[in-house]
Structure 1
């Protein structure tokens, strides 16, 4: 038994020494990123070794500097997602890096989410020849990009994340619904796979013609979105689903704590609420809960936003995803109104 333990300890020590030695070789070749990986493994195996700890810190400083150069390159190319990944990695390697410390406050992480009630089984019957079908929501972003989120079949929930760089909070009011549809894959008789997106609700690419006014800063107190009473107080007076027009123009008037939409007959294309948590540099664009239905007489699809009730509220569903929990707090709340 003692011999077995002895050999086991020797094996562990040899493994630790191996990764440290590998890191030394990679460092000598200037391959700092790979060296940092080896040093990190060695540090996990032997966290109390001062030599390994010093080597890991030395490598991390070098890799953080390289990440900052890549970060700047991605910003110039407007590849914001890749730039933000480099920022996160660089701060984990060197939390005191002056460049990353200056840049970090300029970012806001954004969650776009909502819920769609859709009779998916009827769709499966109508499109049973498709090999694969996925209900999707497409969202217009303030930057002009188009984001696509899949609907979770059993709940109708959708969510997707976005990033906002060096833009004021008013910029976040420009999100809008592009379409709700069905992404299908069909295999043809000659074996080719064809993809098709069937739009049921189609607002197309939208952007406000004019945005005027400012948003008022909220309190410094952090609050829980699920406790926001205004979410449950707002009752919809609409009963008929809306078929989006082919052309829709609108303007935004920002009135402190509300976002007024001008020039549009209805508001289903816009979010329902915008939540900001300035201290955590996060925002939640809440589209609320939709019902999408087919008019049997006109054979056209319409959309209507449902009132938030305990039965239709999608926030408890979002809260089940622990990765999304940081978005469910706020300092300021703004409702989109007519």
Structure 2
């Protein structure tokens, strides 16, 4: 999706998270554009009102109403924002129900979101009946949950990026963020701590040109189970990422199986930091924070091998206990760390 110009982010939020469709889009790619704090605020209002172009003026809060319109077959609607005079209007081929906004400042006209056409207008009455929302409407929650790619988008601040992710995603598994090559004045730092708050289910993270840092090691980061981190065109610090691997209180020190760092042709990362990160290549990843105590191991063995009763004890274990034993007995995963540079 190519984003440029005012209002595009609000329509994006509506298309992905609102609307009448039950379909959930598994993969979303957004290229170019600029995202600001005001854009995120409008997106938040879109999700709250379930409408792509909400009224933001406080003075009109008590007068306008959101709701739905029931449109009768054969009703003529007027398209908004269309320059071609030949298609200013169209006739609804069948009865439909659409999201709408009634603003008394526009008289008898009502604004309607029609699937496949966008924003339209019509007069109330006749074939258009407006049903306002209840005082506390409840809308179905739909968010991006599989893969999101943001390429060459300029973010006003890192907070704006994280707020947007928290708004439009839920259970996101894969995230890719690339900065523009000429966008040196607006490159933000991607904080893995705040990312763990915005996307707690994330498993695969790729960042290009932006720097990656860790501002805190609190509970959200401790629970983060990311498996793959790729740093493309990267010349920033690596020490924060290495510290995450050393910190046994962090889940990612045991879940992060793949790290790839690719510096650009015009620069390299700090040599010492590269060597410290590469020292973790081939690490066996423990299942738990601390080694399984020897007494606990003996207890597990005694349960498995016990035969003093007619029925062995192992036959009395449920699936959870058996799977736990198999996890501790299995060969641990090994971490792969790659640096594709001349250092």
Taking structure 1 as the reference length, what is the TM-score of the superposition?
A: 0.22
Higher-RCO chain (CA-CA 8 Å, sequence separation at least 6): 1
Bigger helix share: 1
Taking structure 2 as the reference length, what is the TM-score of the superposition?
A: 0.22
Bigger strand share: 1
